[in-house]
Amino acid sequence: MSHTDDYIRNLCSELQQRGMTQADLAEQSGMSRQIVSQYITGKTIPRVDSLGVLAAGLHIPPAVLIMSPEDRAVWDLGVIVDAAHLQDDLMTIYDVKRRDPELYALIMTLFRKLAGKTPRPTNPTP
């Protein structure tokens, strides 16, 4: 599955989970309906900053839009937990995925190994 397939699948899934339309996402993100439609159909591939804007419109981290199903499982395990640096880290990972798929695969293999050894963080209760 390609990067394009990943973000289209994830974007559609997130819209469906939230009961949002393309028009809703356009409004929430401040993008035009036309460009949102082009992103969803794969006619246009969003740049990194545009992925961030789409994610903000959905109130999710940008990584959720670009992760493969396997990578998303790692995400769900809570391997990447430093919220203060999360967006920069995820954009760096996205750039690696785009420029060097082999290195990206190696990084994700390491994350998967860590996920098996790292407990999922919990939120403290007041």
CATH of the domain at 71: 1.10.260.40
Distance (Å, whole) CA 124 – CA 126: 7
In a domain, 23, yes or no: yes
Residues 40-61 have a mean pLDDT of 88
Distance, CA of 83 to CA of 98 (rounded, Å): 23
Q: Alpha-carbon distance 25 to 33, whole Å?
A: 8
CA dihedral 43, 1, 66, 103 (to 10 degrees): -120
Query: What is the overall mean pLDDT for the chain?
Result: 75
In a domain, residue 36? The reply is yes
Looking at the structure of the chain, the number of domains it has is 1
pTM over the 0.85 mark? no
Beta-carbon contacts of residue 14 (< 8 Å; ≥ 6 apart):
58, 60, 64, 65
Domain housing 94: 3-117
Tens digits of residue pLDDT in 56-110: 999 888 878 888 777 766 665 554 444 445 555 666 666 777 777 777 777 777 7
